[in-house]
Amino acid sequence: MTPSSMVLLLADGRFPAGAHAHSGGLEAAVAAGLVTDPATLAGFLRGRLATGGLVAAAFAVAAHRAAGAADRRATLARLDAELDARTAAPALRAVSRRQGRALLRAGREIWPGGGFDALPTGPSGPHQPLVLGLVAAA
């Protein structure tokens, strides 16, 4: 699979990983009257990219870099704990882990040798950006 086709696969709304189904707080912002038109929507999206999006991207890159490391299990466990600490809202932590579990299931099916066994295990599963980093490495 080429890198460009993988990006298209991951961005497809029918891909069974769930990220396309979560708004990142947009519904709550609309209900609170914070997003009322295209201009306030653009501001909301810029804010999400500059905060949660930037953090998620940094952790996905770190997980990608850790994929080939000898100490990847320990590194991924540390990254998982650090991302948990940086995600203040319990609901967002739960969503990240739920999306991580969904992406992990799909990733294991598509890339069975993807090194996903190095991800932290636990009742909640790994955070989505960590799984995304390993999917990109696979």
In a domain? residue 10:
no
pLDDT of residue 22: 63
Number of structural domains in the chain: 1
Structure tokens at 24: 């990142």
In one letter, which amino acid is 110?
A: I
In a domain? residue 109:
yes
In a domain? residue 59:
yes
pLDDT of residue 108: 92
pLDDT of residue 28: 83
pLDDT of residue 25: 78
Cα gap 123→98, rounded to integer Å: 11
- 1 DSSP assignment: -
In a domain? residue 71:
yes
In a domain? residue 87:
yes
Q: Containing domain of residue 119, as a range?
A: 24-137
What string of DSSP letters covers 44-66?
A: HHHHHIIIIIHHHHHHHHHHHHH
pLDDT of residue 15: 65
Judge residue 61's burial from the number of C-beta atoms within 10 Å of its C-beta, 0-12 exposed, 13-18 middle, 19 or more buried.
Answer: middle
pLDDT of residue 17: 63
Structure tokens at 116: 């996903």
In a domain? residue 44:
yes
For residue range 93-111, list pLDDT tens digits in order.
898 998 899 899 989 988 8
In a domain? residue 9:
no
Ranges of the chain whose pLDDT falls below 50: none
- Please list, in sequence order, all residues whose beta carbon lies within 8 angstroms of the beta carbon of residue 27, skipping any fewer than 6 positions away: none
In a domain? residue 52:
yes
Measuring CA to CA, how many Å separate 23 from each of 19, 35, 109, 128, 130?
Answer: 8, 13, 26, 15, 19
